[in-house]
Structure 1
Amino acid sequence: MYTVRSQRKNHLARLLGPAFVAAVAYVDPGNVAANITAGARYGYLLIWVLVLANVMAVAIQYQSAKLGLVTGRSLPATMGQRLSRRSRIAYWLQAEAVALATDLAEIIGGAIALQLLFGLPLLAGGVITGAVSMALLGLQNARRQRTFEFVIMGLLLIITLGFLTGLVILPPEPQAVAGGLVPGFAGADSVLIAASMLGATVMPHAIYLHSSLVVHRHGTAARNPLGLAELVRASRVDVVLALIVAGAVNIGLLLLAASALQGVEGTDDIAGAHAAIADTFGPLVGSIFAVGLLASGLASTSVGAYAGSEIMDGLLHRRVPLLPRRLITLIPALVVLAVGINPTDALVISQVVLSFGIPFALIPLVRLTGNARLMGQYRDRLALRVFSWISAIVIVVLNLTLLWLTFTGV
């Protein structure tokens, strides 16, 4: 019996990986900026946003993976078959804006990390981050998909250690953490931060990408000897494990800022937070934090470029090779760095843009995975359909509230 169980565990372990690649999108530099800003400004107030977003993310990424496995096509490709030419172009434009916002956050995050570690100018750091991401993307092809996954998972481990080390030294107060689980806001700015946290946690490009990742890794169910049921079960485990890690990193970042940085002047941006972390915990922990940020930028920018390529291919039926695409999408981020815009502000705003892109990815996904004709016996069960629609409504309401508060000045 022990041997059988061991074989099953080893068999399952070989199927894991795609969700960990998608999960990197949930711990990118935008998350760092949004969560540190939230903790430094509002303490534990917005923990509930991260908990809710992570629960949403588990359901959403599972649905995306399941769609890819059942249909043998990515979410963008499935949508591309159902939309008219004009609709496909319009949809691609908003999805491309999301991809560019993602690239902006990730390149800037890598540039900030290199400046913190080596004192490099931000523009030079952005160029280096882009160049390394191109090297990582060189691993992404059908023959080396598993190698690409292992590299990204290794970077995810570095991210986790880099961002959570401080919590081991200075644990948060349990009573304060519990208080942050009660939903609430503290004015328009806290809604803006909450929207950026949501955009940084439930990432639209990860919703589009996960359906591609499972197809590239496992192939179509008809050609895979394991069978569809086994692949769907493995993907469910893959998603839960990957997002437990990503959720722990996100919540840990906020807790670190709330316990060590709240009320300290200048800590609501990454550079200031790094300086305060180094002062509080010592230069070694500060350097570990910066290394985690660098790994976050390198891993997530590679995954973001991969997602953009899959979105274009699915919606426009045109595939631009990954490396030229990476070079083109690098330009807006380098322009932001060159003109001297505050990098942390740019990161937070990029996450708000991502938050507005979530419904355009989520609503079609929920409709498709709830379609009995398309999904057959793998159609979402009623509880998952209800939860998914409630999630979509919450996101839309939060974004509309953000608009109203912003333009009315309340």
Structure 2
Amino acid sequence: MRSWLWGPAFVAAIAYVDPGNVAANLTAGARYGYLLVWVLVGANVMALLVQYLSAKTGLVTGASLPELLGRRLRRGPRIAYWLQAELVAAATDLAEVLGGAIALQILFGLPLVWGGLIVGGVSMLLLMVQSRRGQRPFEFVVMGLLLVITVGFMAGLFVSDVSWPDAASGLVPRFAGTESVLLAASMLGATVMPHAIYVHSALARDRHGHRPAELPRLLRATRWDVVASMLLAGAVNVAMLLLAASSLQGMGGTDSIEGAHSAISGTLGPVIGTLFAVGLLASGLASTSVGCYAGATIMSGLLKVRVPMLARRAITLIPALAILATGVNPTWALVLSQVVLSLGIPFALAPLVRLSSDPELMGGYANPPALRIVAWIVVGLVVLLNLALITLTLTGGG
């Protein structure tokens, strides 16, 4: 296997370990212990399938998912579709900037607004690497940040007292009221992220080009790329929940990332607390850059409008800074942003399954019947979870 063909999936995987994941996973573990482990495991299995289908579609067709949709939708539906996709991108960007700002406040005591500005500035530098040096150097930078994220979020697991029998029992699907469903939807939205579905097709296409003669080799490499990156992202997510369940459950003040950091530092030591904060900062910096790349892919594909990524970064930074300036609880804003992402998943996932199963578009690389069935089951499960979220929230059930 030519490992140098790897990279696009690891960039997409940043979306799976962003600050929204941190907020959702820590909140779930602190409030419900090991109850929702099954959500993360199931979501990461779904993510593996989804990200491969996205990358395969980009490689086979030579077009991104938004481009394919833009060619097929009439003007009105195309604009409506773009609006919901932009809402998803905005929710993504909000989570990344908020998380990075919180990390800078924890590490250096900076006000959240100043932290948000710094995160935005550094993300612009990362995007300049991509625009001036090409995708491969950008991949190396993002993969380096992914390594920092992995160390920062998994370090505490090795010194915490995890109850492995309880963790195993958390693999049994169940809920404990309305709020647990809200958190499950938030965890799903933070794991199977719509913007990652859109952008992976572009990342694979931009990295490898459209080379029909080399498709078998590229698709084999892509499968390994996706499996390795999703296993890593899944391990980090589960580690966060296990850490919270074992060290934070029942403790007061852990309903925010700042409170969780304080509790982690008090329980596991300042070194673990600092590593956690550094991982959170790396998560915010990397994911906001990838999120901006995804937003540009969505706009250019659906509207055929290309806005320079640095200009787009400056514009999309404004809502996040406004949230920080209003004094809204940033951790809860993070969790709610992930719910918005969860509601946007079917709009990205259903077209992906439909297009990747189309023999006229994909030729001999169209999804075989068994894979098609599994993919539509995944779509159905996502839709059902979101319907349960809406119903329980509106009725106050649970």
Interval containing the TM-score (normalised by the shorter chain): over 0.9
1:91 maps to which of 81, 85, 88: 81
- Structure 2 counterpart of 1:147, which letter? P
SS in 2 for 1:324: helix
1-structure distance, mates of 2:370, 2:340: 29
| TM-aligned CA deviation for residue 144 of structure 1 | 1.9
- Verify the 8 A CA contact 1:40 1:267 in the aligned structure 2: yes
CA–CA distance in structure 2, aligned partners of residues 38 and 98 of structure 1: 22
After TM superposition, give the deviation of residue 268 of structure 1 in Å: 2.4
1:140 match: secondary structure = helix
Normalization by structure 2: what TM-score?
0.99
- Answer yes or no: is 1:241 the counterpart of 2:199: no
Deviations 1:207-243 (A, max 9, x none): 0000000111011114xx7x01111111111000000
Partner of 1:315: 302
The partner residue of 1:159 within 146, 149, 155 is 149
Q: Judge conservation of contact 2:34–2:170 (CA < 8 Å) in 1.
A: yes
1:243-282 to 2 correspondences below 5 Å: 243-282=230-269
* Aligned with 1:101 (options 80, 84, 91): 91
Q: CA deviation at 1:142?
A: 7.5
Select which of 287, 300, 321 maps to 2:287.
300
Per-residue deviation, 1:143: 4.5
- Alpha-carbon contact 1:59-1:384 (below 8 Å) kept: no
Structure 1 partner of 2:65: 75
Equivalents in 2 of 1:155, 1:18: separation in Å?
Answer: 14
The answer to whether 1:56 aligns with 2:43 is no
Partner AA of 1:166 in structure 2? G
Q: What 5-or-longer segments of structure 2 have no aligned partner?
A: none
Distance of 1:251 and 1:21 partners within structure 2: 19
Aligned length: 397
Tell me by how many angstroms 1:382 deviates. Answer: 1.9
Cα deviation for residue 37 of structure 1 reads 0.3
> In the TM superposition, what are the counterparts of 1:206-221 in structure 2 within 5 Å?
206-221=196-211
Which of residues 164, 170, 177 in structure 1 aligns to 2:167? 177
Offset of residue 376 of structure 1: 1.0
- 2:63 aligned partner, one-letter code: R
In structure 2, the residue matched to 1:23 is 13
Q: Give yes or no for contact 1:142–1:216 (8 Å, CA) kept in 2.
A: no
The alignment's TM-score, normalised by the length of structure 1, stands at 0.96
Is residue 398 from structure 1 mapped to residue 385 from structure 2 by the alignment? yes
Matched position secondary structure for 1:341: coil
8 Å CA contact 1:101–1:350 kept in 2: the answer is: yes
Q: CA deviation at 1:386?
A: 1.1
C-alpha separation between the residues in 1 aligned to 2:51 and 2:132? 22
**Secondary structure, aligned partner of 2:129:** coil
Contact 2:148 2:279 in 1 (8 A): yes
Q: Which of these residues, 187, 203, 210, is aligned with residue 193 of structure 2?
A: 203
Separation in structure 1 between the aligned mates of residue 103 and residue 124 of structure 2, nearest angstrom: 18
| Structure 2 residue corresponding to 1:284, chosen from 258, 271, 277 | 271
Which of 103, 127, 134 is 2:117 aligned to?
Answer: 127
- Structure 1's consecutive aligned runs of 4 or more residues displaced over 3 angstroms after TM superposition are none
The residue that corresponds to 1:43 in the other structure is 33
Task: Give the Cα separation in 2 of the matches to 1:348 and 1:244.
Answer: 23
Q: Which amino acid aligns with 2:149?
A: I
In structure 1, what is the Cα distance between the partners aligned to 2:53 and 2:265?
A: 41
The letter for the 1-side match of 2:310 is L
SS of corresponding position for 1:170: coil
1:332 to 297, 313, 319: 319
Answer whether contact 2:161 2:247 (CA < 8 A) is retained: no
How far residue 354 of structure 1 moved from its aligned partner, in angstroms, is 0.1
Q: C-alpha deviations, 1:231-264, integer Å up to 9, x for none?
A: 1111111000000010000000000000110001
Q: Which residue of 2 aligns with 1:382?
A: 369
Q: Which residue of 2 aligns with 1:344?
A: 331
**1:372: which partner in 2?**
359
1:141: Cα distance to partner?
3.1
> Structure 1 counterpart of 2:299, which letter?
M
SS at match of 1:319: coil
Which amino acid counterpart does residue 268 of structure 2 have in structure 1? F
Q: Secondary structure at the match of 2:131?
A: coil
Q: Can you list the C-alpha shifts for 1:376-396, whole angstroms capped at 9, x where unaligned?
A: 111112222111111111111
Answer whether contact 1:64 1:211 (CA < 8 A) is retained: yes
CA apart distance, 1:407:
1.0
Q: Alignment partner for residue 361 of structure 1, among 329, 344, 348?
A: 348
Tell me if the contact between 1:113 and 1:291 (Cα under 8 Å) persists in the aligned partners.
yes
Q: Distance in 2 between matches of 1:389 and 1:289?
A: 37
Identity of aligned residues (%): 66
> Which residues of structure 1 form unaligned runs of 5+?
1-8
